[in-house]
Amino acid sequence: MQHRGTDLILAKKLLTEGKLVVIPTETVYGLAANGLDETAVAGIFSAKNRPTFDPLILHVASIEQAQSLSIDWPEMADKLARAFWPGPLTLILPKADHVPDLTTSGQPTVGIRMPNNRLTLELLSTLPFPLAAPSANPFGYVSPTNAQHVADQLGDSIDYILDDGNCSVGIESTIIAIDNGTPKVLRLGGLSLERIADVLGFPVLEHLNQNSNPQAPGQLDQHYSPRCKLIALNTMPAEDIEPSVSIIYFSKQEAQRSSDYNSSDGSHYYLSDSGDTNQAASNLFSTLRRLDQDNQKVAYFEWAPNEGLGRAINDRLQRAAFQP
């Protein structure tokens, strides 16, 4: 029987024993274990049914702890960490020897971030090790943004859920690799590229898809997928869309002005009230889960404006809708 609550002492005890504990972050809920204990890390892969070629991210309580996990801490990494940590940014850096190969899926690099959640930061500050913590869901399915999502799916395969309500950001962290002084984006996420460019003084190159031997999580073509089939509205002529079809709208306000909305008899889902991308991001994964809860077989969706956080929303929708 799995337990749920805010008991940090129990969470620390379980993690120290090599057990699995679900932790809240500002992005999504993570399935956590001692990231330096290969046996504990293996438990994460097993519970999620996650392929071992997909690397994990280590969560830390401080910049100093992050530095201990890498053999190189370039000035650019320090600049980004001090600007955006704690927050939805993961840095990919050359790994230290004591970081297990299983954690990094055999890569010579490791992903590191400091999450912006008070419970998890307090927990991390009491632990002598970082936490490996991918999203707490079966591999490939929609990420969880509250404790109930986790309880519904992973159930008895975990020992404790640290519950801190709904995630404030709602999509995973932006991932930046720094290679020989050159930053590149491996995953779009909760921190916009515009904000990163403002700090660095120049735009960052993108390298977002890697189906074979990915350097970071979230690079596979198909990911974040509900059982419901997703189709982008702009791929179908309006006259070919069945009146009874379900539609995910980006903005409720804009949708109610559209002819598609007024002619559709299907279910309507909204990512935001009036087009706010932060609200849309925080609602995205819970909306995709609702499609399955409502037994929807097919749903159409609107793209978000392709800028700022909207790009990360569109990235998740594109991967969720991918048909091999």
Per the CB < 8 A criterion, the answer to whether 220 and 50 are in contact is no
Amino acid (one-letter) located at 262: N
Which has the closest alpha carbon to 257: 310, 223, 302?
302
Which residues, at least 6 apart from 218, have a Cβ–Cβ distance to it below 8 Å? 172, 175, 186, 187, 189, 319
pLDDT for residue 306 is more than 60: yes
What angle (nearest 5°) sits at the alpha carbon of residue 12, between those of residues 174 and 23?
30
Domains of the chain: 3-206 (3.90.870.10), 229-321 (3.40.50.11030)
Which stretches of 28-146 are assigned E, i.e. beta strand?
30-34, 57-59, 89-94, 109-113, 131-132
Q: Tens digits of per-residue pLDDT, 77-117?
A: 999 999 999 999 999 999 999 999 999 999 999 999 999 99
pLDDT for residue 304 is more than 70: yes
**What is the rounded average pLDDT of the residues 8-17?**
97
* Stronger pLDDT, 112 or 265, i.e. the higher one: 112
Spatial separation of the C-alpha atoms in residues 117 and 250, rounded to whole Å: 27
pLDDT for residue 259 is more than 60: no
Could you tell me the pLDDT band of residue 309, with boundaries at 50, 70 and 90? Answer: very high
Which two three-digit tokens encode residue 87? 């927050």
Phi, psi of 178 (to 5 degrees): -115, 110
Could you tell me the pLDDT band of residue 76, with boundaries at 50, 70 and 90? Answer: very high
Could you tell me the pLDDT band of residue 240, with boundaries at 50, 70 and 90? Answer: low
What pLDDT is recorded for position 1?
42
**What is the rounded average pLDDT of the residues 114-121?**
98
